[in-house]
Each structure stands twice: as structure tokens, then as C-alpha cells.
Amino acid sequence: MPAKDLYHDTVKVALMKDGWTITQDPLSLRFGKKDFFIDLGAERLLAAEKNREKIAVEVKSFIGPSEIKDLENALGQFVLYQNALSILEPDRALFLAIREAVYVDLFEEAIGQLLLQRNLLQIVSFDPDQEVIIRWIT
């Protein structure tokens, strides 16, 4: 199993504060002979429909020397996991968890807007100090 991201536990707490139940830590998947480990699996009850909403969350810290290189790596991992989930658990939505500061720096800029407009990512941003979710971008 890969090492936990720097903000793994912070995102876990923030999701629980936001009403999610952590069901897997990590969410492990097998596709063919390959194993994948997405940081968190979570569910919450949708009261009006009496159904459960299911998500997978991949946490990325973006603390490397290049935000663009971190974005390239995160995007590649997201696409890989999203495609595997579409076959193995099609009812589970995948989100990339990033700090709100990273969201502002990257996704309010042209390159981030391009990725969001083309629906290449779903993002959950969080405040690492308060351990809360700031926004969901779908």
C-alpha cells in the first residue's frame, strides 16, 4: 500500500464534519491483476431518496517544486482511477481533494478552468487548518 498523503487525515476529518461516513481507508480495487488504492471511500445517506451517495477521494498535497508537475501527476492518477471505478463501481464518484489555496492558484487560472470546463476532474477543496470542506466542484 502506498504512503498516506500529508493531508490524508485532515481530509478524512473534513469529510466526516461534512456528513460523510468513511467506509474504506484506503479504498482498494483490483482491475485485472493490478491493485489500486484510492485514499478514501465514503458514503452518506440521501434522506429524500433513501439511497446512499458514494464517493472515492484521492488526496493530493501539491507541495512539490512545480505545481504543474504535481497537476500532471494528479491528473494522470485521477484519469486512471476514474476509468477503473467506471467499470468496478460505476455508482461511486471520484474526487480530487486539494487545499483551497491550491484550488485558487491552479483552478481559477486558465489551465485549471480548461480542465474543469472539459469535465476532466471533480474537486473537493478543504481548509487544512480548520479541517473543513470549502467547496465541491463537479
Of 33, 36, 32, 34, residue with least CA distance to 24: 36
> In the chain, what are the domain boundaries?
8-137
Of 87, 99, 20, 88, residue with least CA distance to 59: 99
Residue 125 has pLDDT above 90, yes or no: yes
Q: What is the pLDDT of residue 13?
A: 98
CATH architecture assignment, domain 8-137: 3-Layer(aba) Sandwich (3.40)
Reported as a single tens digit per residue, the pLDDT across 39-88 is: 999 999 876 656 789 999 999 999 999 999 999 999 999 999 999 999 99
Q: What is the pLDDT of residue 45?
A: 82
Q: What is the pLDDT of residue 1?
A: 67
Residue-by-residue DSSP string for 95-124: EEEEEHHHIIIIITSHHHHHHHHTT---EE
Q: Tell me, what DSSP letter sits at residue 5?
A: P
Backbone angles phi, psi at 42, to 5 degrees: -145, 160
Reported as a single tens digit per residue, the pLDDT across 7-21 is: 999 999 999 999 999
Percent of the chain with pLDDT over 90: 91
User: CA distances (Å), 33 to each of 6, 57, 90, 115, in order?
Assistant: 28, 22, 19, 30
Q: Are 126 and 100 within 8 A, CB to CB?
A: yes
